[in-house]
Amino acid sequence: MAYVKVWIHAVWGTKNRLPILTPETRPILFQHIKNNAVDKSFYIDFVNGYTDHVHCLFALNADMTIAKTLQLIKGESSFWANNQKLVEPKLEWADEYFAVSVSESMIDTVRNYIKNQEEHHKKITFQQEYNSFITKYNFSSQR
């Protein structure tokens, strides 16, 4: 058995950044995402977001890539939400996402950041947050 503990903070948005994730629907969707992770045998520590995007802190399995994990989360959650008619118009996720590793010592900090998304986005838009991530983690030099 492989013992692996790699923490990932991932962020993805709704397609065209439509603000369709309401305060009523977000908890239902996020709980479903966590439940689905258990069914798929990976661990989501915390998931939260705002009207047009999601933050997720998860432990990467030894046999799954970040891309595969996010494909499972995003694909299944939009399929489920649309079958449940949870949001209008139908839920589609943007193709792009942001993902970085998180050191064990920073788990509580990231968890609290994710937990406070609604308050955070009273001061900053998702686009501003996204741009700050691109700069902070030097992603612009990879393009």
Q: DSSP labels for 67-85?
A: HHHHHHHHHHHHHHHHHTT
User: Are the C-beta atoms of residues 6 and 54 closer than 8 Å to each other?
Assistant: no
pLDDT score at 141:
57
pLDDT of residue 48: 97
pLDDT in tens, 79-122: 999 999 999 999 999 999 999 999 999 999 999 999 998 888 88
Each residue's pLDDT tens digit, 127-138: 888 888 888 888
Domains of the chain (ranges; CATH) run 6-129 (3.30.70.1290)
Averaged pLDDT for residues 52-56: 97
- What CA–CA distance (Å, rounded) separates 21 from 92? 11
Collapsing DSSP to helix, strand or coil, 17 comes out as helix
Residue 99's DSSP bridge partners are: 10
Check pLDDT > 60 for residue 49: yes
Is the pLDDT at 143 greater than 60? The verdict is: no
pLDDT in tens, 12-38: 999 999 999 999 999 999 999 999 999
Question: How confident is the model at residue 55, as a pLDDT?
Answer: 97
Q: What is the pLDDT of residue 65?
A: 95
Higher-pLDDT residue of 121 and 57 is 57
Q: At what angle do helices 25-39 and 66-83 cross, to 10 degrees?
A: 130
Exposure string of 66-98, with b = 16+ CB inside 10 Å and e = fewer, is beebbebbbebbbebbeeeebbeeebbbeeebb
Q: What is the pLDDT of residue 1?
A: 76
Check: CB of residue 39 under 8 Å from CB of residue 80: no
d(CA 22, CA 87): 8
22, 139, 135, 45 alpha-carbon torsion, rounded to 10°: 40
What CA dihedral angle connects 79, 32, 9 and 91, to 10 degrees? Answer: 30
For a pLDDT cut of 90, what percent of the chain falls above it?
75
